[in-house]
């Protein structure tokens, strides 16, 4: 067994090496297929290759236990593979999720079926080629097609005992239903975020503005589950922070995502573009004040394609759709608060519970508020990109 694990670790590292060798090809195709800026995509590919290397090193740490439970018997646990693991990849980081999804399951002895995103399926072809040349036949399988057909077939197949999915709530619910109708499976779902960034008084407005703009992940067109798309600023510094955010957003460069100087590219697909435009209109209808963006950028280069300006709404409230619902686009909604109990209630007033960022000088306050927010991640005085 140790020999098999060491051999598997070498193979995973070889996959990572060959993917990085083909970095230029992969990045060119991935940027064209997603609209994500090339600098960020380069980081995605490097991080994914790092995941393969990291998990390769964990193989020898997969152990069972021997338990002294009775005088006349030996009790022990064994860790065994599921067999076939299915991974349904979202469109915002397709190559990162496709590559990193292999690492853990393969290290634990499983085979993997990756379902590519409908909107951005192409980069997984490179992964399939590399795995074909390095790994045993059938260990890694790449399938594409619509979620309603290909994804549903993958979820329902009785041989697939483990499913992981990142995407929308309705699709997650459909996966749970389909899996329950066929066999008992282990399902992991990550179903989006509407993450609050809470800014307390006495945080420097420049620092708050820098963090808010970075946390929105505009380089991904806001198409990131970890984006801090609800910015909740204490009334004492509200106007000062808003002023600085607008200035910073206005300075960001929208352009060809293959250009290293571009800081935001086009929206991923027509459907997603229409969704973003819908929420721009919803923000106006619900009474938020549009202070920047919301339109197609000016210029001949933006006449064709799914372009939209970085967009900032202020004076939003939690009864507005732009404050409650995940947009998955470059729209920042800014809300005002006065009392701590008020902002905690605001933060918890959505169905999403992925992450929150708390900006204060008082660690006790940060820990207290963090415990009261219903989410999985809490960042204090920082933001962190998650997918």
Nearest to 291 by CA among 324, 244, 252, 235: 244
Nearest to 199 by CA among 349, 45, 336: 336
CA 190, CA 126: separation in Å to the nearest integer?
25
Side-chain-facing half-sphere of 290: CA atoms under 13 Å = 17
Q: Are 160 and 85 in contact (CB under 8 A)?
A: yes
CA 89, CA 99: separation in Å to the nearest integer?
10
**Catalytic residue status for 309:** no
CA 197, CA 337: separation in Å to the nearest integer?
12
- Element housing 260 (H / E): none
Active-site position among 131, 225, 309, 375? 225
CA 130, CA 112: separation in Å to the nearest integer?
14
Contacts of 350 (CB under 8 A, 6+ apart): 194, 318, 324, 325
**Catalytic residue status for 190:** yes
CA 243, CA 231: separation in Å to the nearest integer?
14
Q: Provide the sign of the torsion angle of the four alpha carbons 229, 119, 151, 8, taken in this order.
A: negative
Count how many residues are written for the chain: 387
Active-site position among 21, 30, 61, 190? 190
Helices and strands (DSSP H and E) totals, the chain: 13, 14
CA 47, CA 214: separation in Å to the nearest integer?
19
Residues acting as catalytic residues = 190, 225
């Amino acid at each position: 067994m140790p020999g098999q694990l060491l051999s598997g670790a070498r193979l995973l590292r070889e996959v990572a090496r060959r993917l990085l060798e083909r970095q230029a090809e992969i990045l060119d195709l991935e940027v064209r297929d997603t609209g994500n800026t090339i600098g960020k995509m380069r980081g995605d590919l490097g991080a994914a290759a790092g995941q393969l290397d990291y998990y390769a090193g964990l193989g020898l740490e997969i152990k069972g236990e021997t338990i002294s439970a009775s005088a006349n018997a030996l009790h022990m646990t064994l860790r065994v593979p599921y067999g076939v693991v299915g991974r349904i990849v979202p469109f915002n980081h397709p190559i990162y999720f496709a590559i990193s999804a292999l690492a853990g399951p393969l290290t634990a002895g499983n085979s993997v079926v990756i379902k590519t995103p409908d909107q951005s399926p192409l980069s997984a072809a490179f992964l399939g080629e590399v795995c074909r040349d390095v790994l045993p036949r059938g260990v890694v399988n790449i399938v594409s097609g619509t979620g309603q057909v290909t994804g549903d077939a993958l979820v329902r197949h009785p041989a697939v005992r483990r499913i992981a999915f990142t995407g929308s709530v309705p699709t997650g619910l459909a996966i749970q239903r389909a899996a329950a109708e066929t066999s008992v499976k282990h399902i992991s779902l990550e179903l989006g975020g509407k993450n609050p960034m809470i800014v307390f008084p006495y945080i420097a407005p420049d620092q708050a503005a820098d963090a808010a703009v970075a946390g929105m992940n505009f380089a991904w067109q806001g198409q990131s589950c970890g984006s801090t798309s609800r910015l909740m600023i204490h009334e004492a510094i509200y106007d000062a922070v808003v002023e600085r955010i607008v200035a910073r957003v206005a300075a960001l460069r929208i352009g060809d995502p293959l250009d290293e100087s571009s800081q935001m590219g086009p929206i991923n697909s027509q459907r997603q573009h229409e969704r973003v435009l819908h929420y721009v209109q919803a923000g106006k209808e619900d009474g938020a004040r549009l202070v920047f963006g919301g339109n197609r950028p000016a210029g001949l280069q933006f006449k064709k394609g799914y372009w939209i300006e970085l967009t900032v709404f202020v004076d939003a409230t939690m009864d507005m759709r732009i404050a409650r619902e995940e947009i998955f686009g470059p729209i920042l909604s800014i809300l005002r608060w006065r009392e701590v109990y008020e902002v905690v209630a605001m933060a918890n007033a959505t169905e999403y519970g992925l992450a929150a960022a708390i900006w204060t000088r008082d660690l006790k306050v940060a820990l207290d508020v963090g415990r009261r927010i219903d989410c999985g991640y809490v960042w204090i005085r920082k933001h962190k990109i998650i997918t």
